[in-house]
Amino acid sequence: MHSLHDFVERRPRAAFLAFAALHLIVWTALPATLRPNLPLDVIEALTYGREWQLGYDKLPPLPWWLAEIAFRLIGRDFAYFALSQVAVIAAFAVIWATARPLVGPVGALLALLIVDGLHYFHYTAAQFNHNVIQLPLWALAGYSYRAALREGRLLSWVLLGLSLGAAVWAKYFVVVLALPLALFLLTDRDARKALRTPGPYLALIAALVVVAPHLWWLIANDFLPFAYASARAEALRDNLDHLLRPLEFTAGQFFFLLPALAIAAPLLWRADRSPARAADAFDRRIVTLLAFGPFAGVVALSALTGRGTVAMWGYPLWLFLGLWIVLAFRRASEQKRFAQVVSIWTMVFLAFALVFIANYAVLPHFDQRYRAALFPGDRLAGEISARFRAATGRPLAYVIADIWTGGNIAHYAPGRPRLLIDGDPRRAPWIDLADLKARGAAVVWTGSDPRTMPPRFQQAAPNAQVQPPFKLKFHWVPRELEVGWAILPPQPAAAR
């Protein structure tokens, strides 16, 4: 450990790259090996992303575009797991760049090890989605915000605006980051000086320029995704929810933070509270804001509205917590405490990896819990496409199904057929219904009577011919999927 401490001091870049490489390799290899079927969020991303829309009915499009780019560049399922870890490592790189001038290379590495105790950065990040892509964008906003306030460079202010604008394309949740940053700028005695410079206004302009195309789409579509966002936050039940809902979110986040706090424990125990040499009071206030401001924003909004929260909203909230701990509780440079932190991080890292292995490679053989990762998506796609071609003499071009069932077929079937989600043109307005009728479609459903087409598909496929159902085995486990399906026969005349 003494040698490792010296290595980090002498070769900080190599130390960071080694940490990043370990993270990338382990948390790409584990899900790529143990998840034979892509998870729901990735299936959804590949269904939506290929359409290249400025907006969709659920969420902003950025992560879905990135998933489609990964498909076109690589075309293998491991790419989506790697994409998640690229986003995580990009966030780590920005945190590292923020921390090094304040706490040195050893302190910066410890800041990363602490936040790596959160499952948001590995176990659940194995599913690339809107939460994961927030990480590098929020980290970049924090880095550029501090740089703009401390150095006053206009480039840093523009970078802040660009990162916040890009974060809107990732998830509207960025509001709980933007509001604390704005309030700090208005209320902090040192930060307020920036208001007399062009910087904050350039940041606002840059953010608006980046957001403008999506904002135009939102206005034109009556802010359609906001209905989904509202549905995710449970409605107010009674006035007690103004207290209970924030407490529930706080308790959940504290539970998730326990491994990170365990890693940080050697720094917290009998800590030296003397200020860091490279950080003054203003720096400490900025880091405190970045570490706790967004969390306080979520709690405040929940208390104000009484609406429910979602545990996974915690993804980007704690990016700078490790830096705050290292900055506030010194002794990070002591070799003994460094060794203790690294040892605890190693145990936590291995524990998460072993739990992941157990959940996907061991437990499925003993419990009966449904796991989407073992869903026979490739087999389903192969069967439907082959049966459709045998019955019609044509390749499968369209599927009518729910997002999970149809999305698997759309991804794994030859030719990547397009999906009319839930048979509802409002959910997939990019589908040309005349072309769908001309080329025909497979209607597919699971979880209900396989011999009766669900009523929700009747309007899109009124003339569909129900076919004999069939069963497929899940990957690795003695579980079967019963599939109902129907053929909407091609009607070439419909194209004219």
Domain regions of the chain by residue span: 2-362, 375-495
Structural tokens at position 136: 């590098």
State residue 113's pLDDT score: 97
Backbone angles phi, psi at 471, to 5 degrees: -120, 150
Structural tokens at position 158: 């523009």
Give the C-alpha separation, 441 to 488, whole Å: 5
State residue 250's pLDDT score: 93
State residue 5's pLDDT score: 82
Tens of each residue's pLDDT in the chain, 496 residues: 668 888 888 999 999 999 999 999 999 999 999 999 999 999 999 999 999 999 999 899 999 999 999 999 999 999 999 999 999 999 999 999 999 999 999 999 999 999 999 999 999 999 999 999 999 999 999 999 999 999 999 999 999 999 999 999 999 999 999 999 999 999 999 999 999 999 999 999 999 999 999 999 999 998 888 887 776 666 667 788 888 899 999 999 999 999 999 999 999 876 555 555 567 899 999 999 999 999 999 999 999 988 878 888 899 999 999 999 999 886 555 778 898 999 999 999 999 999 999 999 999 988 888 899 999 999 999 999 999 999 999 999 999 999 999 999 999 999 999 999 999 999 999 999 999 999 999 999 998 999 999 999 999 999 899 999 999 999 999 899 999 999 999 988 755 5
State residue 261's pLDDT score: 96
Per-residue DSSP letter, 316: T
Q: Global pTM?
A: 0.94
Give the C-alpha separation, 492 to 496, whole Å: 8
DSSP letters, 402-470, are: -HHHHHHHHHHSTT--EEEETT-TTT-TTS-HHHHHHH-EEEEEESS-TTS--GGGTTT-TT-EEEEEE
State residue 218's pLDDT score: 95
Per-residue DSSP letter, 474: P
Tell me whether residue 205 is exposed, middle or buried, using C-beta atoms within 10 angstroms of its C-beta: 0 to 12, 13 to 18, 19 or more. Answer: middle
DSSP letters, 212-237, are: HHHHHHHHHTTTTHHHHHHHHSPPP-
Max Cα distance, the chain (Å): 80
**H or E stretch at 480:** strand 480-488
State residue 277's pLDDT score: 56
Alpha-carbon distance values, 446 to 116, 180, 384, 469 (Å): 38, 45, 13, 10
Give the C-alpha separation, 306 to 239, whole Å: 7
Q: Which stretches does DSSP call E strand in 34-172?
A: none
Alpha-carbon distance values, 253 to 99, 230, 292, 298, 300 (Å): 23, 21, 12, 11, 15
